[in-house]
Every structure is written in structure tokens, then in C-alpha cells.
Amino acid sequence: MANEQYLLKETLENKKLNGLLNDVRVDPSEENMLALLREAAVSRFIVPLIISDDGKPVIQGMGNSKGQQFMVVFADTKSYEVKADGAPLYGVLTDFTELVGVCSENPNMEGFVINPGLEEVLFGRDMLTMIADMMRGDDDTATVGDPDHYPPKLHDMLDEFLKVEPSVSRIWVRLMRVSKTNAVQWLFILDGDYAEKKDYIHETFSNFIRPYLDGLDLMCVSSDEEFTADITKGVDPYIERR
């Protein structure tokens, strides 16, 4: 059969990675996420394929209630077998760097989900962009904390943004220091119902608020990213809609 050329040709095991995926599902803390990223960076993954009616391989995707599409990947052959439920295992092996590159550069893909329905951990676009930036350096770590002071016009300008953009309801403001360069930048975490226009909202927000940041750069992410749970845990939003 022609489809045999797309059958998975190698058995993949990633016991440590699966354990870390489960740790993140139970507790998505910064420590667990960094441990997962370090292991994922040196691991390979299975990208499952669907064979179309005309015999061409198509990457599997899954959507959510917001209409977003995510690439499906598996951490090992056993996980793929469980989800395939006896169906042929079509797929290719790839590394984490390729996954990050494909998803961060594809405007139709909001990220990828590892082991959907099992240890399931989602890597969204914002997180992948941050990972891609870190991969260009030698140190893949960053620390997040509270600033000693805020720019004088920041609160008023954020209030103005909330008035003109009804899809955003709350904003956290933190400082992030990248270990390799020791560079400091503002980290804005936006919460609201704007998934269908995320890129537009983040770009608009960044352009709007950049002149009021005392010369520091910024990163803008959404609150539905896995890694933001630990960053916002126990921290009140800097501002929310009144």
C-alpha cells in the first residue's frame, strides 16, 4: 500500500518527559515548567499524520471552543498507540526546535499540544515566541518579579486602553529579567475574551503602551498560556475594568 511510506518507522520512548508533563499538569509552577522545557529541548516527538483521500499526508490538528487550532504531537509511541486505538500509526519524528519554529511562524497555528487527552500540556503561541527567543541564546531561563516602581503614566494609560478595548478586562504588570543578557523588560499579561484576534490585540497594545515604559522593552502575553498561571498566582491584577 502507498500509505505504508508514512507509517511510523521507529519506537520512541520518553519516560522522563512524560513524568515532567504530568508534573506540569498537576502543578504548572515556574520550576516545573523550566524542568519540562529543559527536557523537551533535548527530546524528539511524534507528529501524527492523517492520510487524505488523495493519499497525501496531513498534520493532525485539534481545535478548542474559541476556534483556535493546535498541532497535535505525542511524547512517545505508547501515548500515540493509546489515542490511535488500533488504527495505523502514521507519523514522523521531529525535535522540539522544529516544533517551536513551525508553530511560531505559522499564523494559522496557535501552538501545539503534547499527548492530548493524556498528560496533555499545551504550548501556546505566546509561550513559543518566548521559547524561540530564548533558544537564540545560551541560557534558556528568565526570572519574573515585581518592579520597585512603575512609570508615572502607566496606570492612566492602561486605564485608557481598557476603555477603548472592551475585549480586555484585566492586566498584570511584572518585570522579567533574561539570564543570558541580564536584560530587563516589562511583562504584560492580558486577560479577557479576545482569542480570535490575539495577535491584533497584542500588537495594538504593545504599540500603544511602549512610549510610556521609560525606555524598557516589553513582552505581551495572554492569561490563558500555561506558564502564566504561576506568574499570576497570588498576584492581583495591576489594573482591571471598572
| Per-residue confidence (pLDDT) for residue 138, from 0 to 100 | 47
Q: Do 49 and 78 belong to one domain?
A: yes
Q: Do 124 and 157 belong to one domain?
A: no
Report how far Cα 135 is from the mean position of its chain's Cα atoms.
14
Q: Do 187 and 98 belong to one domain?
A: no
Q: What is the 3-state secondary structure (H, E, C) of the chain?
A: CHHHHHECCCCCCCHHHHHHHHHHHHCCCHHHHHHHHHHHCCCEEEEEEEECCCCCEEECEEECCCCCEEEEEECCHHHHHHHHCCCCCEEEEEEHHHHHHHHHHCCCCCEEEECCCCCCEEEEHHHHHHHHHHHCCCCCCEEEECCCCCCCCHHHHHHHHHHHCCCEEEEEEEEEEECCCCCEEEEEEEEECCHHHHHHHHHHHHHHHHHHCCCCEEEEEECCCCCHHHHHCCCCCCEECC
Total count of domains within the chain? 2
Spatial CB neighbours of 214, under 8 Å, sequence gap ≥ 6 = 151
Range of the domain at 152: 142-240
Q: Read off the pLDDT of residues 168-178 as tens digits, 9 standing for 90 and up.
A: 999 999 888 76
Q: Is the four-CA dihedral 89, 91, 93, 99 of positive or negative sign?
A: negative
Q: Read off the pLDDT of residues 126-167 as tens digits, 9 standing for 90 and up.
A: 777 777 666 555 444 556 777 778 888 999 999 999 999 999
- Percent of the chain whose predicted confidence (pLDDT) is above 90: 25
Q: Read off the pLDDT of residues 178-212 as tens digits, 9 standing for 90 and up.
A: 665 556 888 899 999 998 888 899 989 999 999 99
CA 126 to CA 41: how far, in whole Å? 17
32 has pLDDT over 90: no
Q: Read off the pLDDT of residues 87-107 as tens digits, 9 standing for 90 and up.
A: 889 988 888 888 888 887 777
Helices 96-105 and 125-135: crossing angle in degrees, nearest 10, is 120
Q: Out of 5-9, 42-46, 59-63, 140-144, which region has the weakest mean confidence (pLDDT)? A: 140-144
Q: Do 118 and 95 belong to one domain?
A: yes
Spatial CB neighbours of 74, under 8 Å, sequence gap ≥ 6 = 45, 46, 48, 80, 83, 91, 114, 115
Q: Do 150 and 173 belong to one domain?
A: yes
| Per-residue confidence (pLDDT) for residue 172, from 0 to 100 | 94
Spatial CB neighbours of 51, under 8 Å, sequence gap ≥ 6 = 3, 6, 57, 58, 90
Q: Do 14 and 62 belong to one domain?
A: yes
Q: pTM for the complete prediction?
A: 0.57
Spatial CB neighbours of 239, under 8 Å, sequence gap ≥ 6 = 155, 158, 159, 162, 170, 171, 173
Q: Do 14 and 113 belong to one domain?
A: yes
82 has pLDDT over 80: yes
| Per-residue confidence (pLDDT) for residue 233, from 0 to 100 | 79
More confident residue, 229 or 122: 122
> Which of 117, 135, 153 represents a domain boundary (last residue)?
135
Q: Do 83 and 193 belong to one domain?
A: no
| Per-residue confidence (pLDDT) for residue 201, from 0 to 100 | 92
Residue 218 belongs to domain with CATH number: 3.30.70
Q: Do 115 and 159 belong to one domain?
A: no
Q: Do 106 and 13 belong to one domain?
A: yes
Q: What angle do CA 198, 181, 174 make, to 5 degrees?
A: 45
CA 4 to CA 88: how far, in whole Å? 9
Q: Do 130 and 186 belong to one domain?
A: no
The mean predicted confidence, pLDDT, of the chain is 84
| Per-residue confidence (pLDDT) for residue 240, from 0 to 100 | 94
